[in-house]
Chain A
Amino acid sequence: MNFDLGPDQRDAAAGARDFFRGSASPAAARAALEGGPVEPGHEALAAIGFLGITVPESAGGAGAGLLDLAVVAEQGGAVLAGPSLVTAARAAVLLGEHPDLAARLADGSARFAVVDGPVTGSAPSIDAAGATLFLGLDGGALVVGEGEATAGPPMDATRGLASVRLTSRRVLAEDAGELWARARQVAAVVLAAEDLGAADRAVQLAVGYAQQREAFGRRIGSYQAVKHLLVDAWVGVDQLRSLVWWAAWAADAAAAELPLAASAAKASAAEVLERAAETCIQVHGGIGFTWEHDAHLYWRRAKVDRLLLGDAAEHLDAVARLAVAGALG
């Protein structure tokens, strides 16, 4: 048994942290709510190679595993980066048999989005706003096409959510239900990884404040009502990290475990990030409720992400069904 990151993954995570800290921030996420660009943005992510991490080398990608991508995604989540690596990971699975398109995903020459729901009018889908090529499931077939995206007023502008109506479509694969399901599980793992990074950061912010702020002659972190709130949020993050790593590892090395692991990670991520973000606001008091403070940007991420790619109820149901069907062994 060796349940830890390897040296290469640690290096990749450290490099990704530097990159994301230099190119994205909660401040940028705030500005995006007022019409600013999403940072680091599609071109920068393509340039550093993050869009092709799981694309095969023959198609111009890095040919690495989902775990390698997840540790990078976690760092993006910590600073609320966009577009999401969810899209890159999911499209890479869907384009496994289409190296020409996968190459355009990896080099960024096409901006892909994967749309959920009917292609004639999809559910709000990640990074659909601004995408140039859409992948969807149409009557069991995997299709690619152009489309029109319609977005509502953003709760979290970094997610690029929009509903899509395809204006053209070409079938990439008939009977693509299984492929589609696997791609969605992979997407759920990456979303959970981004949520892990965001939750970890929200807890750090709150802990840092609780170490400094004084009330009634004591630092507020010395009060158990505050301390225990923070500990519970931190324990959640620590537990979520285990599920994310396991699920990402399963995608690479134990395909049979992926459906259960992905749903477990996604269900947990929804609740852990929500608790971390709400704790972050609460521990900050009034300042935490201001536009200028970063806390609400993590809260926005939490409130949106928990509903994307299936909410906790859907994934808990999936976990129960799989467990009952024998997936625990």
Chain B
Amino acid sequence: MDFDDTPDEAAYRAAVRTLLEEHAAELLHVAPGGEAVDARTHEAGLRRTQRVLAEAGLVGITWPREHGGQGGTLVQQAIVTQELARAGVPTLINHIGLGMCGPTVIAHGSDDQKRRYLARLLRADDVWCQLFSEPASGSDLAALRTTAVRDGDEWVVNGQKVWTTLAHVADLGILLTRTDPDRPKHAGLTMFVVDMHAPGVTVRPLRQMVGSAGFNEVFFDEVRIPDEERLGEPGEGWRVAITTLMNERVTIGGAGSDLGVPVERLAALARERLPHLDAERQVLARQAVGRAVVASLAARYTGYRRFTVLSQGGLPGPEASAGKLAGTAAAKLVADAGVRLLGDDAVYAATADGDATWQRSQGYLPGLAIAGGTDQVLRNILGERVLGLPPEPRSDKDAPFAGGRR
């Protein structure tokens, strides 16, 4: 057991740092903790940042070389992620492409698709989004209604997606559709790569509760997709989507990084604010800070355990859902303790000197408990797949989708 870099890893980390310093002037930077940068207003800078990093060999570390990746290890990818955060580089604009769409193309795409898409994805020449959720199917994803009907060498898509992160800047998306309504709901689905600039695709940004436009609704009106843009066989869409979702939970709940504001920042805030509180308030504040630190460290070290398994060649299992569940809960404790330490400023959306770090995190976390599997859905998965508890009875699982309850 050890947490240090091996000599190889230390050398790799040093090389990454040097590269980041060399390219510093070409990269977008954020203040520590200001992880989210609005994709629309900073689109050009974010795309450039990822391209510069890709050209420096710092994107897609674990991806195969033949697809423009570095053929490296998970440990190297984790080192790069840490060093990007340390250097204040914002989340890469193509994070959904890198974390979910790309791995799905690698697993299920044709050679032609891999050649056309993957290297461009790494450079953010194309930004990707994930078109799964619909107004009537979120947790119950397999109940989706967007249809794709075959017409010669093409498919014709009609329907609506919603909550699609990054669709307003995306060039491409992975799109889950229903191609056979006469089969049970999981069996009639097919996945495609869709061109977001194709005729008939309309993207409307939705304003999120904290004000920014992070996600969108996307309408498909007679959109034609060539058959060679299919990912996997017709009717196999659920299996393809599972690849995406497994990668999503590892990406979100993964390898020991904090989901909200890093807990070190809470410690720094407490150092500054505690002396201004009266003695009784200090006692209460330390309880809240202590609780947040314990929860964060527990989630972080559990991430290290999972990461160790993955880095030794293990596969991501359903227990990855526990990482997102516990990480979200810990992040909420951190944000809450942080906001409470602001004193009178806690009732405003930013502090008097304009810092919105804590309020922003507080306002972002309710979404994290929903995106990529709600807390409740994750508990169902853990209960059934990890603890082996019996599933709930389902009335609609085996009936033909078209004949089912609508």
State the A residues within 8 Å of B (CB): 1-6, 67, 207, 210-211, 218-219, 221-224, 226-228, 230-232, 234-235, 238-243, 245-246, 249, 253, 261, 264, 267-268, 313, 315-321, 323-324, 326, 328-329
Contact = CB atoms under 8 A, between A and B. Distances in A.
B271 A324 contact: yes
A4 B308 contact: yes
Instruction: For the complex of A and B, list the 7 residue pairs with the smallest distance between their C-beta atoms, beginning with the closest.
Output: A316-B290, A221-B389, A242-B301, A320-B290, A320-B286, A227-B383, A239-B298
Contact of B388 (A207, A240, A245, A261): A207
A318 B382 CA distance: 33
A264 B293 contact: yes
A323 B270 contact: yes
Interface string B349-389: 00000000000000000000000000010011011101111
B308 A222 contact: no
Contacts of B93: none
A234 B1 contact: no
A253 B4 CA distance: 11
Given A2-B2, A210-B389, A219-B390, A323 B376 contact: no
A328 B387 CA distance: 34
Interface in B150-172: none
B267 interface: yes
A267 B294 contact: yes
Decide if the interface of chain A is mainly helix, strand, loop or mixed. helix
Nearest to A228: B379
Contact of A238 (B263, B266, B319, B379): B319
Most buried by A among B271, B283, B286, B393: B286
B238 interface: no
Most buried by A among B1, B270, B271, B311: B1
Given A211-B389, A243-B298, A317 B287 contact: yes
Most buried by A among B3, B78, B307, B384: B3
A323 B267 contact: yes
B379 A3 contact: no
Contacts of A316: 286-287, 290-291, 294
B383 A3 contact: no
Given A224-B380, A228-B379, A235-B382, A264 B3 contact: no
Interface residues on B, range: 35 or more
Contact of B305 (A3, A67, A234, A321): A3
A320 B287 contact: yes
Given A4-B309, A243-B301, A320-B286, A230 B389 contact: yes
Decide if the interface of chain B is mainly helix, strand, loop or mixed. helix
Nearest to B307: A1
Contacts of A210: 389
Contacts, number: 159
A222 B389 contact: yes
Interface of B: 1-5, 75, 78, 263-264, 266-267, 270-271, 274, 283, 285-287, 289-291, 293-295, 297-299, 301-302, 304-305, 307-309, 311, 319, 322, 325-326, 376, 379-380, 382-384, 386-393
A323 B270 CA distance: 9
A319 B294 contact: yes
16 contacts: A2-B1, A218-B393, A221-B383, A221-B390, A224-B379, A234-B382, A239-B295, A239-B302, A264-B294, A267-B294, A317-B283, A320-B293, A323-B270, A324-B267, A324-B270, A324-B289
Contacts of A235: 322, 325-326, 382
A326 B266 CA distance: 11
Nearest to B9: A1
B302 A238 contact: yes
Contacts of B308: 1-4
Contact of A328 (B75, B267, B325): B267
A100 B78 CA distance: 48
Given A239-B302, A316-B287, A316-B291, 11 more contacts: A4-B305, A6-B1, A207-B388, A210-B389, A226-B389, A231-B383, A234-B382, A264-B294, A320-B285, A320-B287, A320-B289
Given A230-B389, A235-B325, A328 B291 contact: no
A1 B390 contact: no
B288 to A, nearest CB: 8
A329 B302 contact: no
Nearest to B79: A1
A7 B118 CA distance: 40
A320 to B, nearest CB: 4
B81 to A, nearest CB: 13
B292 to A, nearest CB: 9
Contacts of A238: 302, 319, 322, 326
Given A2-B1, A239-B299, A245-B1, A317 B388 contact: no
Most buried by B among A4, A232, A240, A324: A324
A324 B274 contact: yes
Nearest to A240: B298
A154 to B, nearest CB: 30
Nearest to A226: B389
A305 B167 CA distance: 52
